[in-house]
Amino acid sequence: MSVQTSDPSLHQTLLESRRLAFAHSQESRPERTALEITQRAVLNILEDFAAEKSDLELGQCATLNIFEDFDAEKSRMAGAQRAALNILEDFAVEKTLLQAAQRSALNILDDFSAEKAHLQETQRAVVNILDDFDQEKVKVQRANAQLEKEITDRQHAEEETQRANKELLAANKELEAFSYSVSHDLRAPLRSIDGFSQALLEDHADKLDPSGKNQLQRVRLATQRMSVLIDDLLNLSRVTRTPMRRERLDLSALARSIAEEVQKADLTRHVEFVIADGLVAEGDWRLLRVVMENLLGNAWKYTSAHERARIEFGASQHNGRRAFFVRDDGAGFDPRYAGRLFGAFQRLHGANEFPGSGVGLATVQRIIHRHGGEIWAEAAVEKGATFYFTLG
Amino acid sequence: MPNNVILLVEDNPDDEALTLRALQKNNIRNDVVVAHDGVEALDYLFGTGSHAGRDVHLVPQVVLLDLKLPKVDGLEVLRRLRADARTKLLPVVILTSSNEEQDRLRGYDLGANSYVRKPVDFNQFIEAVRQLGLYWLILNERPPMIRRA
| pLDDT tens-digit map of B102-133 | 899 999 999 999 999 999 999 999 999 999 99
Q: Residue A24's CB: how many other CB atoms inside 10 A?
A: 14
In chain A, the number of structural domains is 1
- Nearest CB neighbour to A191, from listed B15, B67, B68: B15
ipTM for the predicted complex comes to: 0.83
* Position A360 in a domain: yes
| Residue A355 DSSP label | -
| pLDDT tens-digit map of A228-264 | 888 888 888 888 777 888 999 999 999 999 999 999 9
The pLDDT assigned to A336 comes to 87
> Is the CA virtual torsion A250, A256, A262, A265 positive or negative?
negative
Give the angle A239-B98-A217 at the CA atoms, nearest 5°.
105
Please say whether the beta carbons of A328 and A354 come within 8 A: no
Nearest to A389 by CA among A363, A365, A370: A365
Q: How far is A195 from chain B (nearest CA, A)?
A: 5
Contact A187 B123 (CB under 8 A): no
| pLDDT tens-digit map of A46-84 | 777 777 777 777 877 777 887 787 788 888 888 888 888
- The H helix count followed by the E strand count for chain B is 5, 5
* Position B61 in a domain: yes
* Position B142 in a domain: no
CATH number of A297's domain:
3.30.565.10
- Specify the amino acid at residue A342: F
User: What is the C-alpha to C-alpha distance for residues A202 and B122, in angstroms, rounded to an integer?
Assistant: 12
Nearest to B65 by CA among B99, B34, B43: B34
| pLDDT tens-digit map of A208-235 | 999 999 999 999 999 988 888 888 888 8
Which range of A1-5, A341-345, A349-353, A367-371 scores highest in mean pLDDT? It is A367-371
* Position B147 in a domain: no
Contact B125 A196 (CB under 8 A): no
Nearest CA in chain B to A179: B100
- What's the domain range around B20? 6-137
In chain B, the number of structural domains is 1
* Position B144 in a domain: no
CB-CB neighbors (< 8 A) of B14 in chain A: 188-189, 191-192, 195-196
- Nearest CB neighbour to A192, from listed B14, B68, B98: B14
CB pairs under 8 A between A and B: 63
pLDDT exceeds 60 at position B86: yes
User: What is the C-alpha to C-alpha distance for residues A155 and A153, in angstroms, rounded to an integer?
Assistant: 5
> Is the CA virtual torsion A75, A76, A82, A84 positive or negative?
negative
- Nearest CB neighbour to A224, from listed B68, B99, B120: B120
Nearest CA in chain B to A190: B120
When comparing pLDDT for A71 and A326, which is higher?
Answer: A326
* Position A104 in a domain: no
Q: How far is A234 from chain B (nearest CA, A)?
A: 9
Q: Which of A172, A173, A178, A187 to mutate to test the interface with B (most CBs of B within 10 A)?
A: A187
CB-CB neighbors (< 8 A) of B121 in chain A: 194, 220, 224, 227
Contact B96 A184 (CB under 8 A): yes
Residues of chain A with pLDDT > 90, as a percent, come to: 39
Q: Residue A179's CB: how many other CB atoms inside 10 A?
A: 18
pLDDT exceeds 60 at position A177: yes
- What's the domain range around A298? 245-392
Q: What is the reported pTM?
A: 0.58
Contact A224 B118 (CB under 8 A): no
Whole-number Cα distances in Å, A206 to A18, A60, A197, B18: 220, 195, 14, 21
* Band of pLDDT at residue A23, cut at 50, 70 and 90: low
CATH number of B38's domain:
3.40.50.2300
Please say whether the beta carbons of A35 and A86 come within 8 A: no
* Position B148 in a domain: no
* Position B149 in a domain: no
Contact A185 B68 (CB under 8 A): yes
- Residues A30-51, mean pLDDT to the nearest whole number: 75
Contact B18 A185 (CB under 8 A): no
- Nearest CB neighbour to B120, from listed A180, A223, A242: A223
User: What is the C-alpha to C-alpha distance for residues B20 and B12, in angstroms, rounded to an integer?
Assistant: 12
CB-CB neighbors (< 8 A) of A191 in chain B: 14-15, 18, 97, 118-120, 122, 125
CB contact set of A340 (below 8 Å; sequence gap of 6+)? A346, A348
* Position A67 in a domain: no
* Position A1 in a domain: no
Please say whether the beta carbons of A247 and A282 come within 8 A: yes
CB-CB neighbors (< 8 A) of B74 in chain A: none
H or E segment at A126?
Answer: helix A29-181
